Amino acid sequence: MPIPYALVAEDEVICRMDVADVLTQAGYQVLEAGGSDEAMGLLSEHHASVILMLTDVDMPGSMNGLALAHKVHENWAHIDIVVCSGRHQPKDGELPPPAVFLGKPIDRMSLLELAQKVVKTPRPGVTPL
């Protein structure tokens, strides 16, 4: 079975490293981006292999994490999306369905369980890098 890929779009380096560590434990190969534009560049290149994206709401780039989540959902619906923030709680309708919100600080066990659930979901057409 090919190794699933996840993208972590988070500008806080320590948080990004922590999330990448949890996702690696869950069995993912992790791509990391420090902002929305870098995330879109990585997805443009590797979208066929990525099955999970975690994005912070507040980060640098041409769009915030909510806009990034919508853009990813519109372009690559096979990618599950987790939006996180320590400052913002999305209102109803702000997240693309079926995106999930996690508050910060992120609970490692909740993220691990969510990531493992995503890995087990079959995705036709997803190819390894």
Task: For the chain of 129 residues, list the mean pLDDT of each consecutive stretch of 10.
Answer: 88 96 94 98 94 96 96 94 92 89 93 86 54
Question: What pLDDT, on a 0 to 100 scale, did the predictor assign at position 123?
Answer: 55
Phi, psi of 22 (to 5 degrees): -60, -45
pTM beyond 0.85: the answer is yes
Phi, psi of 6 (to 5 degrees): -130, 150
Nearest residue to 9 (alpha-carbon basis) of 61, 87, 48? 61
Question: What pLDDT, on a 0 to 100 scale, did the predictor assign at position 129?
Answer: 41
Rounding to the nearest 10 degrees, give the CA dihedral for residues 89, 116, 98, 124.
150
Q: What is the CATH number of domain 5-119?
A: 3.40.50.2300
Question: What pLDDT, on a 0 to 100 scale, did the predictor assign at position 128?
Answer: 45
- Determine the Cα–Cα distance for residues 78 and 73; give it in Å rounded to an integer: 8
Q: Where are the domains of the chain?
A: 5-119
- Determine the Cα–Cα distance for residues 12 and 8; give it in Å rounded to an integer: 11
